Every structure is written in C-alpha cells, then in structure tokens.
Amino acid sequence: MERIVIVTGANSGIGLALCERLLTQDSALRLCLACRNMQRAEAARSALLTSHPSAHVDLLHLDVGSVRSVLSAAQEVQARYSKVDYLYLNAGIMPNPQVDLKTLFKGLFSRNVVHMFATAEGLLTQQDRVNSDGLQEVFATNLFGHFLLIRELEPMLCQADLTSSVIWTSSSNACRSAFSLEDIQHKDGKEPYSSSKYASDLISLALNRHMNSQGLYSSVVCPGMVMTNLTYGILPHFFWTLIMPIMWLIRLFTNTFTITPYNGAEALHWLFLQKPQCLDPRSKYHSLTSGFGKNYTQPQKMDIDDSLSEELYSALIELEKEVKRKL
C-alpha cells in the first residue's frame, strides 16, 4: 500500500533535505509538502521532481501558526487521503534572535564549551509577538499549530491495524528552566524558542501515553546545529562567512555540528526506517556527524516527567477548546 508522508516546513532547510532523502529511500511514497508560502513550496516540488521525476509530490497550503489555516489544511488532508502514515512536524521559527556575547565569551574559556556549542543554553534570546489568533507566535508555530493538526488528523493517524508516526523536530536547545506551566506560551520570558521545544518534548511523551493504544506513536528529534535560513538569521551573513572555517573546526570536537541540512535530516530519516513500537518515548533522537563526516543517530534520555507532560497536555486541550470557541 502507498505510504503517505506529510512534512510541515518542507520548502527549505532540514524539511526539504528530509524530503529529498525520503524519495531516495522510497520513490513509491506519496509526499505532501505542507507549506505557508506556495511559491516556495512549488520551487521545492520542482527541485524534488528534477531528482525524482516519477515521484508523487503534492502541495498543501498550511500556515501552522494560524488556527484557521490548520483547520482547513486538516480538512483538505481528509478529503485527499485515506490515511496518514508519517507526519513530520518540522516547521519552526526563531524570530529576532540575539546572542548574549558575554555568556559566549565566558563559555569559550570554560569547561562547558562543548555543551554550550551543542545546546546554546543561555546563549540565545528572542523577541516574540502576539499573532492574529491572540497567541504568542513562537508557541503557536512551533507547538500549538502542530498539536492542533494532530488532533484534527486523529482519524487519519489512528486507523485499525495500522501504526502511524508523528515526528517533531525539537532541539537540544529545549531547556526545562525556560519552560513554565504557569506561562506555557512564554509571554513573560526571553527564550520562547527553548520553551516551545521543551514543550514539544513534553507533548510527545503525553501523546504516546494517550495514543499508543490507537496506533499513533510520537518521537522527537534534534537535527544538531545546521546552517539553514533559521541559523543564518542569528548573525549577519558576512559574519557567518567569516566564521565558517571555525564552524568546521568545531565539528572536530563536537558531533552535534551536523552543519548541512542533509546531515541534519539523519535522525528524521532514520525514524522513517524504524518500527515505531520499538522506539523509546523518553528519548530524543539526535542527528550526529563525526569529525570524519560519518552520519549516525543516537537516542539520549530527555529531562522530562510524566506529571508535567500530562498537565501541559490538558492545558493544550483547554486552549484548543478556547480558540475554536473564538472562531
């Protein structure tokens, strides 16, 4: 039977590299690029069809940061397909990032330098804003829109005698201290990205608890540090060009500097090949690249607990009711 794969944020970076790798793996699958910008989506589709001329590549308009768009995209999916086998929740934003130079320089001369380059913990802040649904934009895009999409696609993901995989592109920047149950949207802090990624780790755990019995399995991935539009937005372009040799040098000391989108998509691709029942719901699957350029996937236990994940799950269900009431 034809496998249906949906990838959000598929028009660039890790999402596009994943699509390329999936088609190389299985040219018979039906790939659906779920993107907010249809011009960029069309360009991505053309690029994929150039390397895989007989592939089935569909486009779906989805602004994951807009409740209305998520609801209508989910309806469109139900009209087009009979099931969904893989749902890659990859779209993500990090608006107006700022590097804390003091922490960076202090970190460079500390024993924590490798950890700092792997996670950027405490190094990055962002400036968030409220979107047209009245939600914090980073929360809405990186977490809530994707959660709503899963909820709307539940019948397609939970088919009798079949399993489905939901795969979140999280990050090693996900940090417990950045997340608070009292402020799940991170209105009051300066690390909405870290908070939203930690929340996705929690929600993945809760989804497994609630949905495994219906055949839905959720996993989280960290692609490592990858040069994409998202990372290019952190520092001026000329500065990245200047420090690029240093980035390749750092790769000799930490396997988390995967750098290319192809390498970054390693764990996302690896999960496509696994039986979802055999995965660990408490592990994050990391794309890693050795100093010699060898790609591999490694699970690492996450710093998450059941009660916090359950409370966040309930809070998102409540928020779902609230936003639907307001429509």
**Catalytic center residues:** 193
Contacts of 290 (CB under 8 A, 6+ apart): 255, 296
Pick from 19, 138, 225, 302 the residue near ligand LFW5757T by CB under 6 A.
225
For 272-275, the CB contacts below 8 A with 24+ separation are 272/5, 272/22, 272/25, 272/86, 272/165, 273/25, 275/163
In 3D space, the residue among 237, 191, 3, 224 whose CA is nearest the CA of residue 98 turns out to be 191
In this chain, which of 11, 131, 172, 287 binds ligand LFW5757T, going by CB under 6 A?
A: 172
CB-CB contact of 301 with 282 (8 Å): yes
164 vs 256 by CB, closer to ligand LFW5757T: 256
Select from ligand LFW5757T, ligand NDP, none the partner in contact with residue 89, using the beta carbon and a kind-dependent cut-off of 5 to 8 Å: none
| 236-265 positions binding ligand NDP, by CB under 6 A | none
The residue from 87, 89, 123, 323 that contacts ligand LFW5757T (CB under 6 A) is: 123
- Of 215, 210, 209, 204, nearest to 277 (Cα)? 215
The least CB distance from residue 240 to ligand LFW5757T, in Å, is 9
Partner that binds at residue 136, options ligand LFW5757T, ligand NDP, none, CB closer than 5 to 8 Å by kind? none
Interface stretch with ligand NDP, choices 10-18, 79-87, 97-105, 151-159 (CB under 6 A): 10-18
Complete DSSP assignment for 228-297: SHHHHTTS-HHHHHHHHHHHHHHTTT-TT--BSHHHHTHHHHHHHTS-GGGS-TTEEEEEEE-TT--EEE
Residues engaged in binding ligand NDP (CB under 6 A)? 8-9, 11-15, 35-37, 40, 62-65, 90-93, 141, 169, 171, 222-223, 225-226, 228-231
Residues engaged in binding ligand LFW5757T (CB under 6 A)? 99, 104, 117, 119-120, 123-124, 171-173, 225, 231, 234-235, 243, 246
